[in-house]
Amino acid sequence: MSRLRGTLLSFALALVVTQASADVAVGRASSATIRERVLRLVNHARAGSRRCGHERFAATTPLAASVLLDRAAQEHAFDMARYEYFEHTGLDGSVPKERLARLGYRSRLTGENIAYAPQSAEEVVSGWLASPGHCANIMEPRFREMGIAFAVGRKRGAIYWVQDLAEPRR
């Protein structure tokens, strides 16, 4: 029995180590790999029904990656990292919809999630899904496209994440 218990414990530890090393972490993976992983995790979450706080969401369609939304997210993440602030409103007073419009993206509906300090794609998406408002943004069925970016600040562990979500005007 003790040999079986030891084997099961070793197997459980191997699973934990494998899962931890499977995280797509900032500094160990390219920005493109991290963006792809976040999109996969978000679409996996959208594929099933979910409760975000007191609000229930049915499964919904996957989001498509958007180069313009990536660019808007990147510019805002860099701005926050450079000037060491953490807000949806840019230092120039811009809000997400205005930042998208500046790049030529016409949206019918816009949302944004930001995060400070998560070290991996898995950690940032898990944190957003645990927060009712961020989760609701991810599960909003009207959103069709997503952009994601992060920027590393000067302080250790200062990673600024921006996720822009939108329903484009066609």
Q: What is the pLDDT along the chain (170 residues), one digit of tens a residue?
A: 444 344 333 333 333 333 444 687 777 788 999 999 999 999 999 999 999 999 999 999 999 999 999 999 999 999 999 999 999 999 999 999 999 999 999 999 999 999 999 999 999 999 999 999 999 999 999 999 999 999 999 988 799 999 999 999 98
pLDDT attached to residue 167: 98
Which pLDDT value is given to residue 10?
Answer: 37
125: buried, middle or exposed (CB in 10 Å: 19+, 13-18, 0-12)? Answer: buried
pTM of the full structure: 0.85
Cβ within 8 Å of residue 162, ≥6 positions away: 73, 74, 76, 77, 80, 112, 113, 114, 147, 148, 149, 150
Q: What is the pLDDT of residue 128?
A: 98
**pLDDT at residue number 8:** 34
Q: Could you tell me the sign of the dihedral formed by the alpha carbons of 29, 25, 125, 74, in that order?
A: negative
Give the three-state DSSP class for 79.
Answer: helix
d(CA 36, CA 108): 24
Sign of CA dihedral 115, 119, 121, 127: negative
At residue 132, the pLDDT reads 98
Confidence (pLDDT) at 160? 97
Give the Cα separation of 22 and 65 in Å (integer): 22
User: 49, exposed or middle or buried, with CB in 10 Å at 0-12, 13-18, 19+?
Assistant: exposed
Contact 137, 165 (CB under 8 A): yes
Main-chain phi, psi angles of 164, to 5 degrees: -105, 135
Number of H helices and number of E strands within the chain? 6, 6
